[in-house]
Structure formats: C-alpha cells, structure tokens
C-alpha cells in the first residue's frame, strides 16, 4: 500500500511517501503500523484525516495492499 504524507507530516516521518507492506487493515490497524514505523505520528493522529484512493474515509474503512492512502493534516489559515 502506498502511503502519502503532506505538510508537517513529512517532517515527522522524514519522507513524502512510503510503501506499507501488509494485507487487509482497518483504520486502527493502519495507524498501528504507521506509529510503529514513525512513532511521532501518534501525537498527530487525532487531527489527521485519511483518504483512500483520493476519497476521504472514516474509521470503518478497510485498506488493502492495492490502495493509495493519503494522510491529510488539519490546516488553518486566513
């Protein structure tokens, strides 16, 4: 599964994207793997939205190795 990081998430992970091995995961399983790979992600989890194949998804989403997952941080501005 291809995972994309944007904005300050690139600073936390040290990369713009990563390939995450594994099979069928729910959102909690995905977060667990991301935090194992990049422990700093735990502190931003509550403020990050997940998108699967270019569409926002909720906590009930399932992810497969064929999916592209984007982690979208909350953004403020004026």
Residues belonging to the chain: 78
What's the pTM? 0.90
**pLDDT digits 0-9 by tens, 15-52:** 999 999 877 999 999 999 999 999 999 999 999 999 99
| CA–CA dist 1, 26 (Å, integer) | 13
Backbone phi, psi, residue 62, to 5°? -115, 145
User: Sorting pLDDT into bands at 50, 70 and 90, what band is 78?
Assistant: low
Question: What pLDDT score was predicted for residue 75?
Answer: 75
């Amino acid at each position: 599964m291809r995972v994309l990081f944007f904005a300050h998430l690139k600073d936390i992970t040290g990369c713009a994207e990563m390939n995450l091995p594994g099979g069928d995961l729910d959102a909690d399983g995905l977060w667990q793997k991301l935090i194992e790979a990049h422990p700093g992600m735990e502190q931003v989890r509550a403020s990050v939205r997940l998108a699967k194949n270019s569409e926002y998804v909720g906590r009930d989403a399932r992810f497969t190795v064929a999916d592209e997952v984007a982690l979208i941080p909350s953004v403020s501005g004026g």
